[in-house]
Structure formats: C-alpha cells, structure tokens
Structure 1
Amino acid sequence: MNLSTNLLLIIPAFLVAIGVLVTVHEFGHFWVARKLGVKVLRFSIGFGKPLWRRVSKDADKVEYVVAALPFGGYVKMLDERECEEGCEVAAHEVHRAFNRQKLWKRAAIVVAGPVANFLLAMVIYALVFMIGQNAMRPYVDVTQDSPAALAGLQSGDQVTAINGVETTSWEDMRMLLVEEYLKSPQLAINVTTQDGVSQQRTLDLQSVAMFDDEAGALDKIGLKSWLPPYDVVVETVVPNSPAAGAGLQAQDKVLSIDALKPTGARGFVEYIRAHPDQPVVLTVDRAGAMQSISVTPQISAGQSVATIGAALAPPPPDLRDKVYFTESYGLVDSLWRGAAKTWQMSALTLKLMGRMLTGEVSLKNVSGPVTIAQFAGVSAAYGLTYYLGFLAVVSVSLGVLNLLPVPMLDGGHLLYYLVEWVKGSPVSAETEAVGFRLGMVIIGGLMVLALYNDFTRLLN
C-alpha cells in the first residue's frame, strides 16, 4: 500500500480504537457513579469544542458530548469543590455530590474506569478465541552463534514447554519467554526435534540485555519462526519494477541468489532487503531452462525497505498444514482464556514498567499516538481478529497506566483515598494542588518522550 492508502486505513482505525477505549473507560466511571447515587453532569468523549451534544430527558439532564480532541474523555460529577465562584449545590442534591460520598464509594467510582478496560480486554480476547485466529506452531529457526544456538536449540525444533508451562502457538511461546525471563534469566526449554525426539535445553540469558533498545526479545535470543525448506517461485511481477526490467517472469523458480540457495520466501526477501541499490544475480529455472538474471533492489517512494517488485508464491498446502493452524475454542474455554490472557498482559505490562524505572528496559520502548496509530492501521490491514487483539492490548495498557499512583490519573486519586483511610481525614487542598502540578510534570514529560520516540521511528 502507498502512503495515501495507508493513511486512509490508519486514521479511521486509530479513531475507532481511541473512541472505543475511551468510551469504555469513561462509561465505567459513569455507570458506577450512577449506580451509587452520584449525580453525573456531563459524559464527554474527547476534550475541547463539542462536535455533538445531547441532553438526556430524565430529571438529571445529563449532557452527553463528543468533543474535537479525541485523546481522552471525562465524566463530570456534582462536586461542591468544583462549584464555580458564587454558585452553590442545591440543598436537596447535596447528598448526591461526589465529595459527600463515603470513601469506598469514591474509590469504587474511580477504579471502575480501569476495571472497565480490563473487562473489555477479557471480552475481546474471548471473542478472538471463539472466532478463531490463524496461528503458527512454535517451530524455531535458530540464528548462528546466538544464545539459542549456544543452548543447543536447532532450526526445526518445536518448543513444547518453557519452565514446565506448555506452549501451543508461536504467540504463546513469545509471551512465555518474556514472562519467564522476568522471573529468572535461566529457562528450561522443552523441544521436539525434527526426528520426533523430546529433549530439554537450558537457555541462559543472564548476559543478554533483552530490553536495552527497541530490538525484539526473540531477535536478541536468536529465534525466528521456522518453515520447512520449499521452492521459491515467482507468482507475479509488478510492471515497470526492477524485476520486470531485468526480465524476471511469473513461474520462474529461483535456484540461487548470488550463488546462495534460498530455502524459502523469507530468506529470499531478507537477502533482497539487505542489498538496496546493489545488483544481485538470480539463477532461475524457467520451464526447464536455466537463466541468469541480474536485478537491483530499490527502495521505492513511500517504502522503507528495498524490493524488486515481485510477489512470491505461498508455501505449498502440505507445508502450511504442518506449521499453521486455526486456534479456536468453545465459549467457556474462551472466557477462561480471555481472563488468563488479560491477567498475563496486565502483569507483564506492570513488570516491564517497573524494569523501566530501574533502567533495564529502555525508554525508547515508550510509544505515543503516532506509533499506536501505525499499529492500528497494520492490524486492521491484517484482519478483524488482529485488530481486535490490538484493541485488547491497548485496553490493558490503558487500564494499567491509569492505576499508576500518579496524581491526575485514577491511581493518584486512589493513593489519596488510601492516605485518607489511614489518617482518617481527606488530604488537604494544598496537597492536592501540589500533587496536581507534579502529575502535570510527569504526564507532560511522558507525552514529550513518547512523541519524541514516535518521530524518531518515523525519521529512521
């Protein structure tokens, strides 16, 4: 896809994601507040100038608003502390003011937003498990001289368990590797070799800085997904591309690239990407006759990697059946797995945030709206289940982030309530004001860092 096509997908995918996540979060606050008898004045999705406004017909006259800036939202409740100068809460409604509620009610209203995000993630994950998603079995391709190779893992091994926990898919294995690494850098890896022999390997990651930059954890370990070797066959050639100009044709079987035999499409593509503006020689079999073709990979406008303009045929069906499968479950099992996946993602997010404070996880991993928008577009391009999975991940992140004990966030209010519970009285207005300013500095700093990382990625 070119840049304009990408934007046509990225922008709506991002806006839908933000709209759903913010609405669910704020609805959590709204629903619990109403159930506990607190009067809600306004439910707003977004900030700034209202684009759409509606007032409910009930006695409370709740104002529902969709505003111009979509990055957040709020629920405004009746509160004597927020009453503008000269105004006064009517005597018959004082009991419905937020500040007059018991401590547990205020805490319940505040925590309801993040809880709503966790519940949304659980439902989404369960839905994905019920619909079914294409998955890869955890066969590994091992990079030479990597920690995985030193542990004795070999290309074609299927990882069956990590530290005794069973793995069924590549995604399971990827998540479990990170999760278990955070517990201990020495991992017991159970594999089944290509000969069908079950073995155990010890993967020592003590000297591996897993999160000191943006490189993926599996790249640091030396693991990629594996496919059995198969013939690389050209399926189509893009007109006016380097491949077309060099004379490459559909149905050509690539026997070698610069005298190296490709074992599959991925190796061929990686070699092409590694040689921008450098001629490479392809030896192809065309209807039984050998041909030698020189083609120069180029980085086209709107692209970030070198290509030659040729699409390759997919792996043969029998090979795909061995490696790929549809992961789907029944209702009860899906709900259980959805809850377990949400818990796993929440705990992992929190642990990585903690390691970020100690410096083990690089601040380069902090992402902002630009990166999130890109992921929204990419996941939407892959299909519904991938987009739903993206929504679940961001929903978990939003829930965890809002529970951090930072003033301005829900977790900051919960921290105030904890202090109030211990000392028997609310924190002073002066303390709240100082906390507000501190929260502004922390949130503002994170936003600047996230945007800096976003634009650095774009420039690179």
Structure 2
Amino acid sequence: MTFLISVLAFVVAIGLLVTVHEFGHYWVARRCGVKVLRFSVGFGRPLWRRVAGRDRTEYVIAAIPLGGYVKMLDEREEPVADKDLPRAFNRQSVWRRMAIVIAGPTANFLFAIAAFTLMFIVGVTGVKPLVGEVMPGSLADQAGFERQDEVLRVEDQSTPTWELVALNLLEKGLDAREVEVLVRTAGGQEVWRTLDLTDRRQLLADGALLDKLGIEAWRPWSEPVFGEVLAEGPAARAGVQTGDRILSVDGVSLSSWAAWVDHVRARPGETLEVRVERDGSPVTLTLQTEVHEEEGERIGRISAWPHVDNEAAEAMQRQVRYGPFQAIALGVERTWDMSVLTLRVMWRLITGEAAASNIAGPVSIAEYAGVSAVIGLSAFLSFLAIVSLSLGIINLLPVPILDGGHLLYYVVEIIKGSPVSQTAEAIGQRIGLVMIAMLMTLAFYNDFMRILG
C-alpha cells in the first residue's frame, strides 16, 4: 500500500510540476505570436491525445512522466510554409526567444510561491524542537546542549519546529562559522549555546543534520519506560511489566529508551541485570536477550516496546496558520530562502565540500512524495514547492539542452551580433546530454545504495 501511495504521489507531483513548467513556455510563446505544434507532458507512447485551437495544437499525455516539452514551429527542424514564417520560433527577436525560454523556470518559481502560500494558509504542522539525547563528544555536547533543552532561536531566526531549526542551522553553517543558538533549559532558563559549524564538510556529509550534530529529538517514547510486553518473550519471562521504568542495566544508569535499545542490540544472547522502578519501588530482574539476525548482523532482542505518551505527543505538535496577505509574504520569503540555500549547497557539491550521496533520484523523490502525502496536505504542498523550485533552478543552469544553456546561447548571440552556429549548438547538445546522463546515473546509484542499505 505504501509503495502504491508513493508511486501515485510521485506521478501526480511530477506530472503537475512538468505541466506548470511547460505551460510557462507555452503561454509566453503564444503571447509572442509563435505557433505551438505540440504540448506534451511526459515522453514516449501517447496515453491521451487531443488536437484543438486555431493552430491545431496537439496536446499529449505520454507514458513516461519524467519530463515534457513544447514543440514550436522552427525552420531548423522542418520546412515552414511562407505564410507561417513570421510565427516560427527561430524568426523571433533574441529577446522574445529569451522570454519564452525563461518562462518555464519562472512558472516553477511562481508555483513554489503559490504552494508555500497555500501551505501557510492551511497551517504549518511541525514538532516542538525539544532535545531528547545528546551524544557524548558530539558538536552539540561540546556546545553544552542538554536533555530537555528547547531550541527557541538560531541567531536572529525564530525556530518553533525542528524543520526550521535544521533549515536555519544548515543555512548559517554554510558560512563555516560558529552559530549562536538560544535554548530554554529544563529549569526554564534561556541560555545561548555556541555550535561550532566551521567544518563545512562534516555538515554537508551524508546523513541527517541532527545526527551529525549529535542531537536526538525528544519523542513521546523517549523515556525508558516499558509499554507493550510480548507474552512468552524474553522480557515477559524475566518478569518485566508494562509501566516499569528502567533505572540501570548491568550497573549503568539509563536516561532514554534509545540508550536501552542500543545496550540490548549490542548483547545478543547475553544475560542482563536490569533494575526497574515499579509502583515507586526498585525491582531487580535478570533478563536474557534473544539472538536475532538483521541485515546479516547478530543483534539482541527482548520482544518489548516503549511506552508512548499520547498526551505528550499531542502537546509536541505545533500548527500555525496565517492570513492570506501574510501567507503570500511568507511564501515569497520561503521560496527565496530555499532557492538561495539550494544554490549554495549545489556550489558545495561542485567544489566537493558536500557529499555527492545527497543527490536524490526518482526513487528517493517518490518515497518523499509518498511520505509527505500520508502526513497531510501541508507537508505535500511543501514537498511540491521544494521540488518545483529545484526544477526551476536546475533548468536555469548553463548546461546545453537545458533552458539555461539556451539562454547562454542567446547571451552569446547578443554579444557577437549573430546566432550561435548550428554546429556549435549540436556539439553543446551532445555535451549537455552526457552531463545530464552522468547526473542521472549518480542519482540512480544513490537511490539503489539507499535501498541496499
């Protein structure tokens, strides 16, 4: 079921965003008087086809939903009747051709603004940025972060959710400097903590940002308290009961369920001495773990699950809604911020400071699409906005066959006073195809490596 949701969400998302992009080209081409022959969403065999309008434009939905195109009348591609010559794309002024080309990415940016705006109106749902565990020796530990710290600000930016904490830390960390973070401690004090983010390569390495900082977000099952205990399992045989709070194991104090899980997994088939608190009194239990195979590794297991505090889980959820005018301003701001951040990370990829494994392919995008669709409308709108502006940015790169490559040709044409030769364009097309093929190969490789673990 999850697979089907991911596939459906991916097809809807890519189909919608490709349509938006190509409609930008189509709309401006028509306004410039260019004759449009075909508007195709997808490649390959047509699944749906219709011919309409004064120009008898062919509208197509094709089988492979990984792109699309707008085919315009052009003498370089086929003979054009004398009466239609003024409407050929290649006969337009360089400024009109530039407008037509740039219209696709512009449509993606406008869509991102609209999606973010609607997201802010519907309501942004997030999780309160409360720290669960801090890994010893980590960047967060060195900065003095403690369990139950609530992150209030990253320098001048308010951070009501973990998403905004990560976004602002990444943005500030790209400058390779120390970043000031305001937290409210468990005792209610507001304290500034200094995170050393001077190692940009560590920040941009593969993996989740919080993991690299050494922070585990607090979750409603973070406390070391037993919930469901499977009958006849190792925990039940040892006398563990629902509600028991773990105090220590083998003489080592524990403060989180994650620490307990790590201890058990590392000791397959071993006997543990566990002290728990039950009804206010300490109880000592002897528990022998089972041996379980997981991805070729032997781990310990006890067939018990943590207690989930549903009230605390609800209290951790935050949803903020905005009026239409404020939402529009925030939509423009979020689109700008995410565009700048994307460009900065892309530059770090080019310079080798960011891990190439961060490049996601269609499989990962489909997975993100499915997850966001399940979470709700707000999350799916955010996903659509981010992918849309990413498409806009990528298409503006000065790579032949992309919109940015065509814009580069037109800039050269303006400078030299004549169009780039068809031979130069053909060579550029081949170079562009190789570059795109290499990028797609890397993206698919990253997808398969994630699947294989």
State the TM bucket, normalised to the shorter chain: 0.7 to 0.9
Tell me: CA distance 1:231–1:185, structure 2 relative to 1, closer, same or farther (3 Å): closer
What secondary structure, in the 3-state scheme, does the structure 2 residue paired with 1:177 have?
helix
**TM alignment of 1:238-387, pairs within 5 A:** 251-256=242-247, 258-259=249-250, 263=255, 267=259, 274-275=265-266, 293-296=287-290, 298=292, 312-315=306-309, 317=311, 320-321=314-315, 323-387=316-380
Q: What is the CA deviation profile of residues 280-317 of structure 1, one whole-angstrom value per residue up to 9, with x for unaligned ones?
A: 7566677889565545374679xxx9976655443252
Structure 1 residue 73 corresponds to structure 2 residue 68: yes
2-structure distance, mates of 1:179, 1:331: 27
Which letter maps to 1:314?
V
What secondary structure, in the 3-state scheme, does the structure 1 residue paired with 2:202 have?
coil
Tell me: CA distance 1:318–1:237, structure 2 relative to 1, closer, same or farther (3 Å): closer
| Contact 1:283–1:293 (Cα < 8 Å) also in 2 | no
Q: Which residue of 381, 390, 400 maps to 2:393?
A: 400
Aligned-residue offset at 1:446: 0.7
2-structure distance, mates of 1:136, 1:179: 20
Tell me: CA distance 1:336–1:271, structure 2 relative to 1, closer, same or farther (3 Å): farther
**Equivalent in the alignment of 2:382:** 389
**Equivalent in the alignment of 1:28:** 24
| Contact 2:37–2:73 (Cα < 8 Å) also in 1 | yes
Aligned-residue offset at 1:277: 5.0
| Contact 2:47–2:63 (Cα < 8 Å) also in 1 | yes
| Contact 1:297–1:307 (Cα < 8 Å) also in 2 | yes
**Equivalent in the alignment of 2:126:** 135
Tell me: CA distance 1:208–1:145, structure 2 relative to 1, closer, same or farther (3 Å): farther
Moved more, 343-352 or 135-144: 135-144
Aligned-residue offset at 1:411: 0.7
Structure 1 residue 164 corresponds to structure 2 residue 160: no
Structure 1 residue 41 corresponds to structure 2 residue 37: yes
| Contact 1:49–1:68 (Cα < 8 Å) also in 2 | yes
**TM alignment of 1:69-108, pairs within 5 A:** 69-83=64-78, 88-108=79-99
Tell me: CA distance 1:214–1:230, structure 2 relative to 1, closer, same or farther (3 Å): closer
Tell me: CA distance 1:203–1:373, structure 2 relative to 1, closer, same or farther (3 Å): same
Aligned-residue offset at 1:354: 0.5
| Contact 1:39–1:97 (Cα < 8 Å) also in 2 | yes
| Contact 2:134–2:140 (Cα < 8 Å) also in 1 | yes
Tell me: CA distance 1:275–1:39, structure 2 relative to 1, closer, same or farther (3 Å): farther
**Equivalent in the alignment of 1:179:** 171
Aligned-residue offset at 1:408: 0.6
**Equivalent in the alignment of 1:221:** 213
Aligned-residue offset at 1:179: 0.5
| Contact 1:160–1:167 (Cα < 8 Å) also in 2 | yes
Aligned-residue offset at 1:383: 2.7
Identity %: 44
Q: What is the CA deviation profile of residues 129-149 of structure 1, one whole-angstrom value per residue up to 9, with x for unaligned ones?
A: 221233223333432212222
**TM alignment of 1:410-421, pairs within 5 A:** 410-421=403-414
Structure 1 residue 123 corresponds to structure 2 residue 114: yes
| Contact 2:113–2:328 (Cα < 8 Å) also in 1 | yes
Consecutive unaligned residues of structure 1, counting only runs of 5 or more, are none
TM-score by length of 1: 0.86
C-alpha RMSD over aligned residues: 3.3
